[in-house]
Amino acid sequence: MSAAEGPLVVGVDTSTQSTKALVVDVATGEVVASGQAPHTVSSGAGRESDPLQWWDALRKALHQCGDAAREAAAVSVAGQQHGLVTLDAQGAPVRPALLWNDVRSAPQARRLVEELGGPKAWAERTGSVPGPSITVTKWAWLAEHEPESVRATASVRLPHDYLTELLTGLGTTDRGDASGTGWWASGTEAYDEEVLGHVGLDPALLPRVVRPGEVVGTVRDSDDLPFAKGTLVAPGTGDNAAAALGLGLRPGTAVLSLGTSGTVYAVSARRPTDPTGTVAGFADARGDWLPLACTLNCTQAVDRVAALLGIDREAVEPGTNVTLLPYLDGERTPALPHASGLLHGLRHDTTAGQLLQAAYDGAVHSLLGALDLVLDEDADRSAPLLLIGGGARGTAWQQTVRRLSGRAVQVPEAKELVALGAAAQAAGVLTGEDPAAVARRWNTARGPVLEAGERDEAALARIAGVISDAAPLLEREADQR
């Protein structure tokens, strides 16, 4: 570990599969120590995780950071969005958390949209049209299927709230993560009592929404945490808002995040209200907005296709006229929560590499379909797309995005941008700086730019045509589940 030039802060990313901790030098942005520990997700009817695993993973990740964590002056926790954490009167989980990619609440989502005024009314009210990922639909599902769990619930938290509360003993959240619940009104920036009343959720069970830059507390005394007494705790936020901080994102720059799920987003000064439901009108962690579209099937779906074919994920071949819609876990964009994958155009001379390329094309097509919707009208659409996430360094992902978008691609060298964004937020509460400005000072977006090429209009038209032709089949399949 090199000697730090300034104070140290800790940024945490509690994601779907693991929890990561970075100790960062506030002066330089250098990562001086890091740790990571896994947690599990159920593979049954839904997608659930035990929140106690997150806490155990956080403690392990922090202890891996050694003395650097003990020297940290502030900490911030960013986490996977939308997860429903229900706690009893002693603060213990009532049941495993329902995660963002649990689509069992699709019927409740449709019903809530219908019962409270339709898509346009929801978009105007909360910024988003609820789909099964949104937290309010998960609460509605729980009330319908496990009323005993609802009766036992004394507080409701999001994943990052849960860990922040264990650090401080205080129940808080931030506007970025709250905006993904469906019970926070983006117009008033307050909990929506009509929505809460409709689903039978007492607002007293919810955490206080803190202001950007507010110190939410200090780390309480604990024998199993390496922090010194008095270590400041920042608000934390959702993973996408944290990544936006980690990039120091300015309005108008588009980000494609290639992870288990795929997201495309940009910072905007205007509050988004998309009645089609394609774009979620999230808040960011600073006071602006973060219009975002999400797909459920990205790197995980492509990796699964590669595994089924028995080839490396980079072993793509050009020249395919095959279309593969990789909706292996249902899909959010387009809104087909119970759909499955669909293969069209298979011929005797189709190769495994061409099939794999078709999986990449299908995943990227879904993301690019929402790109123009998340950008303001005056955004520069010739600027490079920022490519982040686990797939961003894969050559096949990079080339597919370039070919289907016709735009240049920039791949930041910085890794773990969610944890870096949390670290920038922690630095902000320590120094009073804008956390995005901190990240820009750290030069986190630095990375190679791959020049634009010719846009593959034929492939885009072919994929769009298959989606249109297959819509009745996909919708019928959804109705049968």
Which residues are identified as catalytic?
239
Tell me how far apart the alpha carbons of residues 251 and 266 are, in angstroms, rounded to a whole number: 6
Is residue 226 within 8 A of residue 219, CB to CB? The reply is: no
Q: Spell out the long-range contacts of 382-385 with Cβ–Cβ below 8 A and sequence spacing 24 or more.
A: 382/407, 382/452, 383/252, 383/253, 383/254, 383/407, 383/408, 384/408, 384/409, 384/410, 384/449, 385/254, 385/255, 385/256, 385/409, 385/410
According to DSSP, the β-strands at 18-25 and 262-265 are: unpaired
Structure tokens at 316: 């793509």
Tell me how far apart the alpha carbons of residues 297 and 395 are, in angstroms, rounded to a whole number: 19
Distance, C-alpha 201 to centroid of its chain = 24
According to DSSP, the β-strands at 74-79 and 232-233 are: parallel
Nearest to 238 by CA among 76, 47, 129: 76
Q: 433: Cβ–Cβ under 8 A, 6 or more apart, which residues?
A: 427
- What are the distances in angstroms from CA 23 to CA 71, 155, 234, 305? 9, 31, 15, 36
Is residue 209 within 8 A of residue 175, CB to CB? The reply is: yes
Distance, C-alpha 449 to centroid of its chain = 24
Residue 246 has phi, psi (to 5 degrees) of -60, -25
Q: 156: Cβ–Cβ under 8 A, 6 or more apart, which residues?
A: 84, 85, 86, 87, 139, 201, 205, 206
Tell me how far apart the alpha carbons of residues 247 and 435 are, in angstroms, rounded to a whole number: 10
